[in-house]
Structure 1
Amino acid sequence: MRVWPATSRGWGVLIVLLCLLVFLIRISGPSDLEGYAQHRNIGYVMDMMWGGNWLAQHDIQGRILSKPPLHSWTIAPFAALFGVDRLAMSLPSLLAVLAMALLVFELGRRRFGLLAGGLAGLAVVMAPLMSKHVALVRSDALFALLILVGACAALRAWERPDGDWRGWTLFWIAGALATLTKGPLALVLAASGLLAVWWERRSDPDTPLPRGSHLPGVLAFLVITLAWFLAAWIEQGQDLIDKMLKQELLGHATGVHRDTTPGENLPKPTLFLLARFFPFSLFFFYALWRVFRHPATHVAERRIERFLTCWVLAGLLMFSLAAHHRPDLLLPLWPACALLAGREMSRLGERVGVRRFAVAVWVVVAVVLAGLFAQYHVAWGGRAENTDISESVRDAAQAFERSGLDAEALEHYGTPVTFQMALGTLRRWHSPESLAAILENPRRPVLVAFGYKSRDEPHLDGPGRVVEAVFEWPEEAGDGALLRVFRVSPAGLTAPAE
């Protein structure tokens, strides 16, 4: 009886099935769309699909996009096919994680052997943070995939003795697409493994420097990135510069818009890497120790292990020095970690016995899957709050549709984006000033919706107005309601809002 798949195809099928199983566990659980900062991406997709804004989207609050729009564009075909819902917006993340796992498996199979590659692919799919992102409406998984593609292209170009312009072209194209996903840091992360060139030259002075023409790739990078940026800038003006370059790029790097400074929490990214990818991260840290103490004797294997090590350590250093700290930022480093961890797991299996080690691995997989089911179906802590609110907002939208009130007539103040997503409407939040202007001298009834995201509630009362509460969710919740709708009518007018 075989304990591992005996062929590449068998491992590929296993990785696909495990990834789909993790996705089904995630997507069948309670919605968490109100958590993990997914609301902005949801608003961008709604603005793109319903508002027709493809170059530069705005969220439900009217704020211009904080990241380039490639992630939203990848959602568009699924949203057109299935509608703007949780499944359609999650599918690009599923495909990105699956592609990462299969690419890591193929690279590991070729460089370290079939078992090592298979275990590396398994580590990509089963790591807790990856299983979170497999169904998350965020761009992190796509960003990590594109960095992996760029890093593989850079490694290939380095190892070709006469250089490889095609490899460098792929590197720059992947970098351009990653830049259109989350920003230009992608190029640095994808190229950081090339620091191993100087490490290798200390061991072997004959190690070739990377060769090959970068010109086609650089031109492709500039055309792809600048074409979008210039078109969006012409359309949106200075708001795009202020948001993406000043607030996001410089703000996250320097902490200007946060109460943090660069280097304030140096150990955090390393601790995140250990905890959020456990238990596979243990094998990575052991592999890291072996790379320094017992480097591979075979030249090709030593090169790639050092390439992967430099990729991870350079990324950890950058994230440790940055002012912005979030575990999800480490996603682009995990494919390199998983490759080294897969090799160590394979070596351990050879030492303790294939069957015994396989039993241990499948027990771990079963425990991880059970833990994922418990986490995403029987939520607790902060996640319970996210799912409770997300589910309640969806129930509120269903109840509002049953009320007979016109969703298109609502003026919104602090309502969650998923409320409008469920209703199929796209109406920006009002500011207190703009809402006051609408209610100054109402000539017809106005429906005003207040949500739990509003910090204060503007006064609706005023001379010549009649204010009536017409909807509340949960019912009879009073001031603790998640959503409240009022009809503001001119005095003496009782007709419903149109």
Structure 2
Amino acid sequence: MVQSRFAHYLLLALVMALVTLPNLGASSLWDVDEGVNAGCTREMMESGTWVVPTFNGELRTAKPVMLYWLQRVSFNLFGVGEWAARLPAVLLGLGTVLLTYELARRMFDAATGLLAGIVLATAIEFCKLSHAATPDAPLIFFITLTLYLFWVGHEHGGRTWFYTAAVASGLATLTKGPVGLAMPGLIVFVYFLWNRELKRFLDIRLIRGILLWVLVAVPWYAVVIAETRGAYLAFFRNENAGRFLNAMEGHRGPVVYYVGALFAFFAPWCVFLGGAIWFAVRSATPRTLSSVGGLPMQDVRANRFLLCWAGAYLIFFSLAATKLPNYIGPLYPAVAILTARFLVRWRTAEITLPKWVMPAATIGVGVVGTVFVAALLVGGGAIPLNLKGQRIVPGLAKWAPVGGVLIVAAGLMAWFLAKGQRLQFVRTVTAATVLFIGTLAAFVVNELDPYKAPKSLVAESGTHQPDREIRLASLDYTQPSVTFYAERKVERMQSALEASTFLAMPLPAYLFVPANVWDEQLAGKVASPYRVVARRFDFYRNGDVLVVTNQ
């Protein structure tokens, strides 16, 4: 196998390009998050501020500033739009893949690094976040950078990591708040505790590192809190303590939520996850060294660190009340390395597995493919289930054969397994996953776009009129991308009476309202003249949405 870093970088960049760049800007912004984030960045540009984030004319305290800075640079270079809004995620996703490669190569070898990078790039959740105009891809990058710098700085007994990791952690804190410091700190603490090395924290460099973190992370928070007269403090109260203690916006789940989410969103590599974790635990336990081939202490420490990394995220966020799959996004690099190491050592016959493990994994790949075939047929209406609230997107059914890629791959994997051709086995699942995920991300997801109403409603209703004095409002319809595409504040009506009064004003007024709400609460009850200027089915509401004007 080629060991050249340059060749490996090229291959990893090619894989990331294949699974992220095609049709990156073809889909309109996803609500709620993409619409709010891109809209906030545009408003900061228009107001000329780099400090105070606003959306729809109001202070936005939900997220810190790093994503807005990154998107602003992208908007300045490429213009305001979906492609530019998502480009930072793609670039930082690639950065995370390369960091994962380098970390795995330092921990183990080049083969593990290369496979770890490909596994990460083609894991469903990581690929999704690397397309999204959200803070998740930047956070994953800066957390991975923090932990990479720690590992590189400490692996030979060095202490420089106190400084380099502090800077990276400060950038993570500017991306999503205190977790940028708390989670890397927890991981390093548990890792040192496992190794009985807590005394390594007793160093003057720790204080200097904290001061360096303060210099990076705190100034923006101090300035934004001062400029908003303390209003931005709501970020710490609501988005940190509040989300941990209370299930906000209905995002709740059982304590095992993230275990299930990890297996679902690490597909199709999840079929190897059980074996990878089993092998990593055995490798991290000194008394079992003889049973795993006499591993050097470097391998033992590496496995311990990766297990602490993944375990800290799983346990911490499992205890939190608010649960969303992206919250554990930063653990995917660790899980990718563990999976790659497991497959590489199996391929080179350095470990012996029970005879059923790889056949079961092969069947698992086929099962994942079959599940996707069924899901696309059901989602496309080809298999009618008539479930309550089911959303049908007819274009999905034609993409059902994409799941067949994994089914065919499973057949080839079984063939190579029977022949003892382990290298071909690994190459088959890798190539099939790149093709599967790339097609899914570039084409299948975009079938939903015609059913996302905000961009079409704005275009058809003529509400994008930045140079004309008009007013926009919504009743029971709060998709933030309406604000982004209309480039205008959308007032939130709280009642049918308020909406009716809004349409009676002398200025041109446009009301965005679900058709059923209009029919039940407003139709025939609005005293002033009105007309419906746009009507679209909306995937989010699973029903039609209207734009009604007094013009």
One-letter identity of the residue aligned with 2:149: A
SS of the residue aligned with 2:118?
helix
Q: Percent identity?
A: 22
Q: Verify: 1:422 aligned to 2:485, yes or no.
A: yes
- Measure the CA separation in 2 of the matches of 1:89 and 1:427: 20
SS of the residue aligned with 1:449?
strand
Deviations 1:101-131 (A, max 9, x none): 0111112122211111100000111001111
Deviations 1:328-356 (A, max 9, x none): 11110011111111111212222344244
Q: Verify: 1:224 aligned to 2:216, yes or no.
A: yes
Q: Which residue of 2 aligns with 1:37?
A: 33
Aligned pair partner of 1:209 in 184, 200, 208 = 200
| Offset, 1:366 | 2.7
Structure 1 residues not aligned, in runs of 5+? 379-383, 488-495
- Measure the CA separation in 1 of the matches of 2:114 and 2:35: 35
| Offset, 1:71 | 0.8
Q: Verify: 1:133 aligned to 2:96, yes or no.
A: no
- Measure the CA separation in 2 of the matches of 1:282 and 1:212: 45
| 1:35–1:462 Cα change, 3 Å | closer
Q: Verify: 1:275 aligned to 2:264, yes or no.
A: yes
Correspondence 1:63-462 to 2 at 5 A:
64-161=60-157, 163-164=158-159, 166-194=160-188, 195-201=190-196, 209-210=200-201, 213-242=205-234, 244-255=235-246, 257=248, 265-295=254-284, 297-351=295-349, 352-373=421-442, 375-378=444-447, 384=448, 387-390=449-452, 392-401=453-462, 408-413=469-474, 414=477, 416-423=479-486, 425-432=487-494, 444-452=506-514
Contact 2:503 2:549 in 1 (8 A): no
| Offset, 1:459 | 6.8
Contact 2:191 2:304 in 1 (8 A): yes
One-letter identity of the residue aligned with 2:69: W
- Measure the CA separation in 2 of the matches of 1:402 and 1:221: 45
Contact 1:55 1:231 in 2 (8 A): yes
- Measure the CA separation in 1 of the matches of 2:251 and 2:8: 44
One-letter identity of the residue aligned with 1:298: P
With the length of structure 2 as denominator, give the TM-score of the two structures.
Answer: 0.75
SS of the residue aligned with 1:429?
strand
Q: Count matched residues.
A: 461
SS of the residue aligned with 1:213?
helix
Contact 1:452 1:482 in 2 (8 A): yes
Q: Which residue of 1 aligns with 2:12?
A: 15
- Measure the CA separation in 1 of the matches of 2:47 and 2:522: 30
| Offset, 1:452 | 4.2
| 1:431–1:288 Cα change, 3 Å | same
SS of the residue aligned with 1:448?
strand
Contact 1:60 1:426 in 2 (8 A): yes
| 1:240–1:454 Cα change, 3 Å | farther
- Measure the CA separation in 2 of the matches of 1:14 and 1:208: 41
- Measure the CA separation in 2 of the matches of 1:23 and 1:235: 38
| 1:251–1:356 Cα change, 3 Å | closer
- Measure the CA separation in 2 of the matches of 1:58 and 1:442: 29
Contact 1:471 1:484 in 2 (8 A): yes
One-letter identity of the residue aligned with 1:365: V
- Measure the CA separation in 1 of the matches of 2:503 and 2:329: 53
SS of the residue aligned with 2:58?
coil
- Measure the CA separation in 1 of the matches of 2:468 and 2:535: 15
Contact 1:266 1:321 in 2 (8 A): yes
Contact 1:133 1:141 in 2 (8 A): yes
Cα RMSD, aligned residues only: 3.4
| 1:29–1:258 Cα change, 3 Å | closer
Contact 1:311 1:336 in 2 (8 A): yes
Single out whichever of 319-328 and 232-241 deviates more from structure 2.
232-241
| 1:41–1:403 Cα change, 3 Å | closer
| Offset, 1:317 | 0.6
Contact 1:143 1:181 in 2 (8 A): yes
Single out whichever of 369-378 and 299-308 deviates more from structure 2.
369-378
| 1:373–1:79 Cα change, 3 Å | closer
With the length of structure 1 as denominator, give the TM-score of the two structures.
Answer: 0.82
- Measure the CA separation in 2 of the matches of 1:18 and 1:441: 52
| Offset, 1:196 | 2.3
| Offset, 1:9 | 1.6
Structure 2 residues not aligned, in runs of 5+? 290-294, 350-420, 538-542
| Offset, 1:443 | 8.1
One-letter identity of the residue aligned with 2:194: W
| 1:289–1:481 Cα change, 3 Å | closer
Aligned pair partner of 1:56 in 52, 63, 73 = 52
Contact 1:439 1:460 in 2 (8 A): no
| 1:282–1:64 Cα change, 3 Å | same
Q: Verify: 1:472 aligned to 2:503, yes or no.
A: no
- Measure the CA separation in 1 of the matches of 2:129 and 2:493: 33
Deviations 1:22-57 (A, max 9, x none): 1134526543x2336322212211221223343222
| Offset, 1:401 | 4.0
One-letter identity of the residue aligned with 2:270: S
- Measure the CA separation in 1 of the matches of 2:46 and 2:213: 30
SS of the residue aligned with 1:482?
strand
Deviations 1:147-183 (A, max 9, x none): 111112222343342x42x321121111111111111
